[in-house]
Amino acid sequence: MTAIVIGLSHRTTSMSILERATLDGAQREDLLKRLNRSEQLHEVLLLDTCNRIEVYAYAATFHGAVTDIGDALAESTGIPLSTLREHLYVHFSDRAVAHLFSVAAGLESMAVGESQILGQLRDALRVGRAGGYVGGHLDGLVQQSLRVGKRAHSETDIDTVSRSLVERGIGKAEPHVGPLADLNVLVVGAGAMSSLAAHTISRAGAASLTVINRTHDAAERLALAVGATARPWTELPDSIAQADLIVSCTGALGYVIDGAVMSPGGGPQSFVDLALPRDIAPEIANWPMAQLISLESLHEGEGQDQDQVSAVRALVASEVDDFRTAERAASVAPTVALLRAQAADVMTLELDRLRQRAPGLTEEDAAQVRMTVHRVVEKLLHTPTVRIKELAGEGHDYTAALRALFDLDPAHAAAVTRPPAEGGEAP
């Protein structure tokens, strides 16, 4: 079995396609069930976020897995496969591992470096475990990706990249609405990205800051943390009318801000849309004195963040190498275990034969003989078992040779555990 990932994200398709591919809870479950029925896929995990939908799997065959995952995605999203195929990416083996680690580190997000993806990966793993879709291979891979993500945030400055995204949004807005110190700012949403925006705006010193969210308790918690005011969701139109700068990032499937919640007249306003799917309807750009700043336009100024991104890419590359080395070493473990089990069986068999041929052997003498033979076997096996693991980690697979040299067949291993017939020879 080999790891594979197939998906689409903001890097390979337009926002309109991503919005069409967004799944609700029932559709996610339907997709997982479709994937689970495939004979080509032994384990599956679905990662469905605001800017990506990805299927991770351990596959029996490459082409069979690509076909089954592509068909399931088309059926569940309602997007014809002929259309969907143009936007899908496929990563296999080491590249699949590298992609997952990059996703966990925030390198593949539109808001590069955001940490919300770690929670989304944990949720995907929890769902996969609960439904029986994730087994030992994917479980271990995803858990390692979570550790990689934590390392990226603790050992590099990748967190600053998302903050600079918000700062670029403010920078684009100020020529239109004036300096932040004179602005009334509204943050719509209370998730990770909205929280980052609120903290960034608060530190930068806005004249006033308001937080609004569908769940009012979450809005109040965020407002308390940044010294802002929380308002209930029903007051969204009034809150927009009173704001100069509106920053929105919710997890809504449809538009949160459109003509229905806008009031005519008033002064210039800037709308910064950090959400995907988009929170703010494109029509807002046509409203009098309104400026709409999209998430795509904010990526134009990413050049200054490349040092942090490069540092995380290097970390990911190192982690992929370590993971593959450990995985290759682990692949020889069954053969090594079989070799040791066979050696132990042979040792036990010969000691039993010695007791039959030397009935006068005392228990103390028998124990000494047993210990001596055990030490001899351990010393003989130590170097080959250590070396074969080292060689496997370096990419050299000698397990087939080891099985051939020692006749390590499960049926034979079972046979040598049977005691010999009375007075007969060992099998």
Residue among 375, 157, 192, 387 nearest 274 (CA): 192
Say how far apart CA 63 and CA 86 lie, in whole Å.
Answer: 17
Distances (CA, A) of 210 to 50, 236, 251: 24, 11, 19
Give the separation between CA 135 and CA 119, rounded to whole angstroms. Answer: 20
Q: Is 110 helix (H, G, I), strand (E, B) or coil?
A: coil
Task: Looking at 110-191, list the stretches that DSSP marks H as alpha helix, in order from N- to C-terminal side.
Answer: 116-131, 136-155, 159-177
Q: In what order do the strands lie in the sheet with 2-9?
A: 41-49, 52-59, 2-9, 89-92
N residues, the chain: 427
Instruction: Please tell me the distance from the alpha carbon of residue 34 to that of residue 28, in angstroms, as a whole number.
Output: 10
- Map residue 291 onto helix, strand or coil: strand
Q: What's the number of CA atoms in the CB half-sphere (13 Å) around residue 217? A: 0
DSSP percent split of the chain into helix, strand, coil, nearest 5: 60, 15, 25
Active site includes 50?
A: yes
Integer Cα distance of 347 and 194 in angstroms? 66
Number of Cβ within a 10 Å radius of residue 423 = 6
* Nearest by Cα to 389 from 148, 381, 408: 381
Tokens of 25: 């809870």
Is the bond preceding 359 in cis, omega lying within 30 degrees of 0?
A: no
Strands 229-231 and 2-9: unpaired
Structure tokens at 17: 């396609």
Structure tokens belonging to residue 227: 């010294």
Catalytic residue among 4, 47, 50, 197: 50
Q: DSSP string spanning 186-254?
A: EEE--SHHHHHHHHHHHHHT-SEEEEE-SSHHHHHHHHHHHT-EEE-GGGHHHHHHT-SEEEE----SS
Q: Which residues are marked as active site?
A: 50
